[in-house]
Structure 1
């Protein structure tokens, strides 16, 4: 409060404070005038009365002037009528009687409720400058006793009664309603009125040029706000009414005589104590209103004025008040003023931004800030302001609960709001951010983690990322995503330094699409290790590097999901590569530095061209309703630039895979394929613009040659019958020359740079493969439904009804293809009764019922084991545990025979686990047990068989039973010996059943 008083004292000492009577926006709910910029903060479209009233002339009551108004309540205060001497008026009585000049008239409707009315009345001495304002409306907006017919009525409520009185007294010419924009109080949301009231003002009009000069020194984002919205407001700046007729607020530190001739402004608590002779500890009204100051002019005691400061005056004093300047922290304030940065809503161009600039300019002659970010307003979905009273917005806590705080943050920061434009908030927008950005991003992160775990489990390779030792991949997609990432980091730093959030966040969102829908999608087989371990590690290192950089860039915008990802990704960083101690949070990390050596614009351009080809091909497939699952014979890419074709050729395998075509053909000659351009007019746009010429121009458009349209495609405009047409006026389509015969084979689409033709002729083998892909899709969806991860070992059983139909034949013919894709054995029903079923489903496909069941385990044999259960094998002594007896064969196959002459002969027995899954990171339902270890212990009793079997399948501590058959009917005797040497033809079928433990809720 003391700093605000000091600010006011400086203004007063500079002669910038005065008391005057002006027509001001007045809040009848708050009983106080508002400043002109406050009145502009809450305009609404309303329906008001629209009436025309007649006013008889004094010199001839048979002649009346008529005036129009939307505020009937102002009529009782009319003092005069005003006309424009430059205009020509007419007398009317059913028809025009006599035109005459406005200079011959002396009147037009004037009252003291509008600023221009007040000015004209003063100019023509209708009222005196020093006379009290004539205003028969009290501070609550009710008529006083002077208005005898409507005394005590609220002015807006009195409108209908005034109209009734006018009609009864023959003064009403016309009555109706009118929709217009009207100011409401920003605090009480009630209609404002305008009335002449005495107020204290700060002079602003004299320093408009200085305000504009200081505004020009500030860096505004977006820039148009500085020159347009804020600049225009400054050019029309008016003196600032800083007094309010309220109790609560900072008291204006003015002590005045009864006639207001003597005024004392007090700028500090010490000065007040000195002038009043009283100890002052509190500057609020209840503590100082009774204090008086002796007049130096013999006018008795000076009393404090009743008004308090406009709250915006205190907001404008914030830079000084927050540090108690100049009473404390003087050096700190002077070293940090003006502020480096400020951000607020677009409405503050007439609020906080304005008051800060006015006071800073008046006090110090310089702007209060250097950089300004202006955001738009978040409105309700219907375009209205969000209102607690109307409850026209969704509950923010439910939005955060349902979609997460990050989704809400990104929705807002990637909206027009950051461009100083308004946003109509829609919950669907937050949901779309979650669906289109966060889920794909999270899936890419999860895909990385899953494949790192798979690499360790299957290959025993511990993935640790070390940027300094990571080899540069030769894969073009790895190079592309690395280059794209570094270009993004470079762009991010430049744009963030310029505070342009509206360019940064869309790029980050686009990057999520590039990473998930292009890099991960086109490299998923590499990331799964299907192209070799070295290539897999390259791809994983690339994906890790890109994801880690992306998390650091996105952290300021989405702090929660990036922190979650970082807490997991940090464990994949090689500790030897970290120079400094791990800070423990992504928000303590610096932004990534640009690695310019990785930026390759040629590769980025090549991939961009590849993306164009793929997207055009997808459009053709959508247009012809050809799902990507169904392969096509050929895609033809036509481009005039041979370098572009080379780029496309270098990425051929990705185009072929993504479009699911057998062959890619490149060409520079579209005539070879009989391609022609034709144009169709936009009937709505051209019809509205060309009117009568539309029919002739339409006919000429259809006659345009392909060459002319190609030029139009490049330039964006064309002259037709003297009319210049643009891209929005025409729709271009590719057609085939009927004589070429290509129209039935190919479908074409183009983006004005490249032309893509897709061979859409059907082929039964391709249709069959498409159906097989549909089956794969159903299996993968069922896998997801069962919450399985890629490393889970499963088997899939199927049944197609009716048996032997088309679908059944396709599945049988493509079993190997389905197995190679799903990495799970595919077997026909029935499902073994002792199988561990995870999930099953019945679905419809190609008119058949398809039943799918996923069971746990690599493979569960229902047929007898081929060959003897016990046999001999040549085995090299290379066991890791030479004293044990177990040799685990995960695939379920017997140990491979080795024909080396020095190999030892060793008997073994195949073991099969039926009703449970292996544990302790073991995998596989079959294994091999050596009956005689050449370098270990020999001979095996029944208990030893159970021990070795439990060790083989990771089931230590579980009870096992051994059976000689899969139906568990023939058990093995506890006393039966398993001899170290087996010969002859004796065969045992050793099948193991796991007895449920006491902790098991259901049998395994």
Structure 2
């Protein structure tokens, strides 16, 4: 009031209406802002003078800061306010809101109730353009949401966000432009996404591929999960392992989301999907390809179904659209009583009795050895389809030696190896080299470093081997230098191992494999047969055969030895390519008993080669 200095705060629009003595008709129907609010007059309670609003404008963030009170009927229905206050979760961009909305909410709540207005406050960094600079239309790096959602996919965008550390700015990857879309229409070719988007979509592609595999073969076998039950304890070790991993995944994802963390859960989901696709599914294919519906095949189907349906529920908060699509086909189509949407389903609960930590550890051991074996094959440039004679393995402890001995068949199958042997610590298969880390040793040993280097250089082969094995097993070894017994650690002396002639090694944190690379004539022949069956499988796809189609195959070659080898492996070839009729001949006049539908030639000049041989391959549907 300009006359007596009294000022008042209106607590609501209703209170302002009750106090108004002029201007309400002009204000009615408008928001409480200029110019309409300036028409309203009230009577000063101090002196009775007619007064208007104070012309000064406060920080508008104070208006946002009072939201936890003004929108929850703090003054008129305190019980209702207490029911909803404080907020469970508040989130906004941290750089912009730290001193604005977050601050004003905290200050206002401190003044009114001396308590924070939220239980959890989540601030994230800034979304930038592809070049790492702020998005601006004038700079040409602004991405319109609708364009990105349509051209990249909403779930792909969500998966990008949930995998990103919110503390760091995110450079939004390039989105296909209008020119890219027009070019795609003209050429009929799909729009090519950037490498970053392709990397993000790998997870979504992988779950779709696992889903496709299950649906394809379940339909062929007319398998209905609602019609089968099999207790976990009656299933194979492979089934029990992936179900144990599933329970651990449920636990990790649930714990992360309960703490408002999306990064760790999304990493856990990706790890499980890798295990499901790259290990479980690959090792279960032969079971699912088997004829009939025996118990082991039913167990594989049920296990894969349970993993898929649980996985899509866990992924639903991250990728709501693709998981809904999978849910409708996997769950709703076979169970009319199921919730109408994956987003209305119960959250998975951990089944502690299904977790088998020992089995998990043992399977991860096998996977680690297989990974090292593949690395050794890659180093030797020998593909997995080429069988090899032996793999020698060293693991850090006796428990793992026992487990690997029991589970070695899995390693042999995965690596296409005939035998696996454990390497003893005194094995002479590996040659070791000690590599002193001078920069690490210098500050500790000073002038003594040069003498240490000289002593290490003078060690004989046996002493080097003993020192290397001690470093691998205990993390240190003792060395006599200038009359002193020094303990050198793995940080100070690194160990490198090389294979004896005829072997290739790979190692990781104390785990070592040595792969025998000699290829005998017998092994070479087996490799040729595997290459041939792989080629025929590709031909089946190019010829347009369905997965379940039984076919006829005719192999023509003028090499008598090669033809005889095909005859020797006739049963294996037929089984792999689903051939009920297989003809091997050195004469093109020897016509097959089936009608030819597709023909290709393998030759030294073709894209697909089988060493220096020329083979005519004929396929026909039976």
**Shorter-chain TM-score category?**
0.7 to 0.9
Instruction: Give the structure 1 partner of residue 607 of structure 2.
Output: 843
Tell me the CA shift for residue 620 of structure 1. 0.6
2:161 maps to which residue? 412
1:331 aligns with 2:79: yes
Displacement after TM superposition at 1:662 (Å): 0.6
Q: Deviations over 1:292-323 (max 9, x none)?
A: 66789999976544443433222212223334
Corresponding residue of 2:367: 611
Counterparts of 1:304 and 1:826 in 2: how far apart (Å)? 96
The aligned counterpart of 2:22 is 278
Query: Which digits, 9 at most, give the CA deviation of each residue in 1:763-791, with x for residues without a partner?
Result: 12212222222222222233334554421
Q: What is the SS of the residue equivalent to 1:285?
A: coil
User: 2:181 aligns to what?
Assistant: none
CA distance in 2, matches of 1:288, 1:396: 36
Task: Report how far residue 518 of structure 1 moved.
Answer: 0.5
> 1:486 maps to what in 2?
247
The answer on whether the counterparts of 1:256 and 1:262 sit within 8 Å (CA) in structure 2 is: yes
Residue of structure 1 aligned with 2:133, choices 360, 369, 384: 384
Change (3 A) 1:569 1:532: closer
SS at match of 1:430: helix
Does structure 1 conserve the Cα–Cα contact (< 8 Å) formed by 2:391 and 2:421? yes
1:303–1:551 CA distance, 2 compared to 1 (3 A)? closer
1:710 Cα offset (Å): 4.5
TM-superposed deviation, 1:594: 2.0
More strand by share: 1
Show CA shifts across 1:777-811 (max 9, x none): 222233334554421233345556xx439877765
Query: Shift of the alpha carbon at 1:368?
Result: 0.5
**Following superposition of structure 1 onto structure 2, how do residues 99-248 of structure 1 map, counting pairs within 5 Å?**
none
Q: 1:555 aligns with which of 306, 316, 323?
A: 316
Q: Quick one: which of 162, 169, 176 aligns to 1:422? A: 169
Query: Partner of 1:630: helix, strand, or coil?
Result: coil
Compared with structure 1, are the counterparts of its residues 288 and 372 closer, same or farther at alpha carbon in structure 2 (3 Å cutoff)?
Answer: closer
Change in 2 beyond 3 A, CA 1:639/1:362: same
Structure 1 residues 485 and 660: CA distance shift in structure 2, 3 A:
same
Match of 1:448 among 214, 217, 220: 214
Match of 1:790 among 547, 560, 577: 547
Q: Secondary structure at the match of 1:389?
A: helix
Matched residues in 2 for 1:402 and 1:781: separation? 31
What secondary structure is seen at the aligned counterpart in 2 of 1:371? strand
CA contact (8 A) 2:312 2:323 kept: yes
**For residues 732 and 256 of structure 1, what CA distance do their matches in structure 2 show?**
86
Correspondent of 1:353 among 91, 102, 124: 102
Instruction: Kindly state the Cα deviation for residue 514 of structure 1 after the two structures are TM-superposed.
Output: 0.3
Describe the SS at the equivalent of 1:416.
coil
Does 2:499 correspond to 1:756?
A: no
- Counterpart in the other structure of 2:262: 501
- 2:183 is the alignment partner of 1:431: no
Q: Which moved more, 1:828-837 or 1:555-564?
A: 828-837
Question: Alpha-carbon deviations, 1:16-75, whole Å to 9, x = none?
Answer: xxxxxxxxxxxxxxxxxxxxxxxxxxxxxxxxxxxxxxxxxxxxxxxxxxxxxxxxxxxx
Greater Rg by CA: 1
User: How far did residue 365 of structure 1 move?
Assistant: 0.6
Secondary structure in 2 aligned to 1:267? Answer: coil
How far apart are 1:601 and its partner, in Å? Answer: 0.9
Of 384-393 and 593-602, deviating more is 384-393
Match of 1:566 among 327, 346, 350: 327
Which secondary structure does the structure 1 equivalent of 2:350 belong to?
A: coil
Change (3 A) 1:541 1:702: farther
CA distance in structure 1 between the aligned counterparts of 2:412 and 2:229, rounded to whole angstroms: 35
Residue of structure 2 equivalent to 1:631 = 387
Q: 1:619, CA displacement in angstroms?
A: 0.8
- Following superposition, the deviation at residue 483 of structure 1 comes to 1.1
Q: 1:454 to 1:366 in 2, by over 3 A?
A: same
1:485 and 1:546 in contact (8 A); partners too: yes
Q: 1:256 to 1:629 in 2, by over 3 A?
A: farther
> Compared with structure 1, are the counterparts of its residues 316 and 751 closer, same or farther at alpha carbon in structure 2 (3 Å cutoff)?
same
Of 251, 261, 264, the residue aligned with 2:7 is: 264
CA separation in 2, counterparts of 1:530 and 1:297?
A: 95
Alignment of structure 1 residues 715-794 onto 2, 5 Å: 732-736=495-499, 743-786=500-543, 788-794=545-551
SS at match of 2:392: strand
* Residues 854 and 719 (structure 1), Cα distance of their counterparts in 2 relative to 1, 3 Å cut: same
CA contact (8 A) 1:677 1:710 kept: no
Counterpart selection for 1:475 from 232, 236, 246: 236
Against the structure 1 CA distance between its residues 531 and 832, is the aligned structure 2 distance closer, same or farther, given a 3 Å change threshold?
closer
Deviation of the 1:687 alpha carbon? 12
CA distance in 1, matches of 2:348, 2:42: 65
Pairing of 1:601-680 with structure 2 (within 5 A) = 601-667=357-423, 669-680=424-435
Query: Relative to structure 2, which stretch is displaced further, 544-553 or 503-512?
Result: 544-553
Please give the per-residue CA displacement for 1:802-837, whole angstroms capped at 9, x wherever unaligned: x43987776565443222211124546688899463
Q: CA deviation at 1:677?
A: 3.6
Q: Which blocks of at least 5 consecutive residues in structure 1 are unaligned?
A: 1-254, 457-461, 737-742, 859-1004
Q: 1:403–1:434: 8 Å Cα contact kept in structure 2?
A: no
TM-score (normalised: structure 2): 0.80
**What's the secondary structure of 1:266's corresponding residue?**
coil
Number of equivalences:
575
Question: For the residues of structure 2 that align with 1:773 and 1:563, how far apart are their CA atoms?
Answer: 40
Partner deviation per Cα, 1:186-217 (whole Å, 9 max, x = no partner)? xxxxxxxxxxxxxxxxxxxxxxxxxxxxxxxx
**Cα displacement (A) at 1:584:** 2.4
Contact 1:464 1:572 in 2 (8 A): no
Q: CA deviation at 1:735?
A: 2.8
**Structure-2 change in CA distance of 1:500 and 1:812 (3 Å):** same
Name the CA shift for 1:762/1:338 in 2 (closer, same or farther; >3 Å). same
Shift in alpha-carbon separation, 1:775–1:696, aligned structure 2, 3 A: farther
Call closer, same or farther: CA 1:428–1:750 in 2, change over 3 Å.
Answer: same
Question: Given that residues 630 and 770 in structure 1 are in contact (C-alpha distance below 8 angstroms), is that contact kept between their aligned partners in structure 2?
Answer: yes
Segment of structure 1 superposing worse, 534-543 or 293-302: 293-302
Give the secondary structure class of the aligned counterpart of 2:576. helix
CA distance in 2: counterparts of 1:384 and 1:689, whole angstroms: 43
1:870-900 C-alpha deviation (Å, 9 max, x unpaired)? xxxxxxxxxxxxxxxxxxxxxxxxxxxxxxx
**Structure 2 contact 23–41 (Cα < 8 Å) conserved:** no
| Compared CA separation, residues 297 and 351, structure 1 to 2 (3 A) | closer
RMSD between superposed Cα atoms in Å: 4.0
Cα drift, residue 508 of structure 1: 0.7
Contact 1:406–1:560 under 8 Å retained in 2: yes
Aligned counterparts of 1:448 and 1:365: Cα–Cα separation in 2: 57
* Change in 2 beyond 3 A, CA 1:287/1:406: closer
Equivalent residues in 2 for 1:970-981 (5 A)? none
Distance 2:455 2:160 in 1: 43
Residue 655 of structure 1: CA displacement? 0.7
Contact kept? 2:155, 2:319, Cα under 8 Å: yes
Q: CA shift at 1:470, angstroms?
A: 4.3
Select the structure with the greater relative contact order (CA < 8 A; seq sep ≥ 6).
2
Of 32, 37, 57, which aligns to 1:308?
Answer: 57
CA gap 1:284/1:395 in 2 versus in 1, 3 angstroms: closer
State the 1:390 CA deviation. 2.2
